[in-house]
Amino acid sequence: MADSYASDEGRQLPSLPPWLRKTLATLATVAATILGLLFVTFMIGRVMPIDPVLAVIGERATQAQYDETFRELGLDKPLLVQFGIYVNDVIHGDFGTSIRTGQQVSSDIARVFPATLELATLGTLIGVILGVPLGVVAAVRRGSWIDQIARFVGLIGYSMPIFWLGLVGLLVFYGMLGWVAGPGRVGIFYQGVVEPITGMLLVDSALRGEWAVFRDAFSHIILPASLLGYYSLAYISRMTRSFMLEQLGAEYVTTARVKGLSEWNVIWGHAFRNIRIQLITVIALAYANLLEGSVLTEIIFAWPGIGQYITTSLLANDMNSVLGGTIVIGTIFVGINIFSDLLYRFFDPRAK
């Protein structure tokens, strides 16, 4: 018996490699997060004081029409079965039909999301290009007037509501100075001129060689993108300054200076190099926040993105569109976090 037990112990399955365990754990976490997101959106759709049947057939329908639509929507089934059907539909890209547009929600989202992607991407680029050097210089010149200006700029960016900045920006730069175009994505004269390729108008107009459209589209996007970029700059510059102050106080920086290395090499070749990993996470979070948080900006500037689409659908009691847009944004947020984690591992061998 003892020999048999020992032989059974020797035949135990080998443990999984560390990289495979990490991959499986990450996939399980992502699946659980997305499943939780689907459950929350499903329950929101059920507890909202909106009758989904009346939203489809209208209030003048007969009782027979109401009962038939009630069964077609699967509302006569148990709640758990309804959730299973809902998850299956979402996995296959079916978010239902929009009551407001009469089209599939997935088609509507595919049409409006590139506008948000373009706006958030340009805003993040502005925030990174200006925010990172500002944070580095503020840390190097700690306590100087440059540091005070950087901290003041960050404080204003955190304190001022973005919708107020948007209204002031339109009043000053569009209404008074005329430096930029007004609300909207492109002027009426140029609408429909460029055939979509990526859905991002700046990219498509450049690829098509329609430079007049490009200039008009850039004039429309630069103000809302700058406002989002300023919001992102406030966060990125503050975190960059904090990371750099920690590194500049480390012993290896003092050693590098004692060895006679130039200040430029000490700052950018040593200190900044060691904060790149942290900045990846900060920039990824800033980008994700702009993707999901540009709703007010899109409303103020009449920007036809997913934020305005969700808001308009909510006002029209179009819950399929609202929940579909929420799922897409939540999934993208999770995806960006995973991507930043992969970049973290790529640039930092210690994390492998």
Read off the pLDDT of each residue in 33-46 and give the average, rounded to a whole number. Answer: 80
Instruction: Specify the CATH architecture of the domain 112-351.
Output: Orthogonal Bundle (1.10)
Structure tokens given for 173: 């730069």
How far apart (Å, rounded) are the C-alpha atoms in residues 264 and 33? 44
Structure tokens given for 200: 């991002």
In this structure, what are the phi and psi dihedrals at residue 169, rounded to the nearest 5 degrees? -60, -40
Read off the pLDDT of each residue in 287-301 and give the average, rounded to a whole number. Answer: 83
Q: Which range, 90-104, 149-163, 206-220, 282-296, has the best average confidence (pLDDT)?
A: 206-220
Q: Which range, 17-31, 114-128, 183-197, has the best average confidence (pLDDT)?
A: 114-128
Q: Which residues pair with 120 in a beta bridge?
A: none
Among 44-48, 163-167, 348-352, the minimum mean pLDDT is found in 348-352
Per-residue confidence (pLDDT) for residue 251, from 0 to 100: 83
Q: Which amino acid is at 3?
A: D
In the chain, CATH 1.10.3720.10 covers 112-351
DSSP tag of 15: P
Instruction: Pick the more confident residue, 62 or 151.
Output: 151
Q: Output the DSSP codes for 264-316.
A: HIIIIIIIGGGGHHHHHHHHHHHHHHHHHH-HHHHHHTT--SHHHHHHHHHHT
Instruction: Pick the more confident residue, 34 or 72.
Output: 34
Q: Which residues pair with 104 in a beta bridge?
A: 97
Read off the pLDDT of each residue in 287-304 and give the average, rounded to a whole number. Answer: 84
Chain segment 44-98, per-residue pLDDT in tens:
777 766 666 766 666 676 777 777 777 776 677 777 887 888 888 888 888 877 8
219's enclosing H/E stretch is: helix 211-248
- Tell me the percentage of the chain whose pLDDT exceeds 70: 88
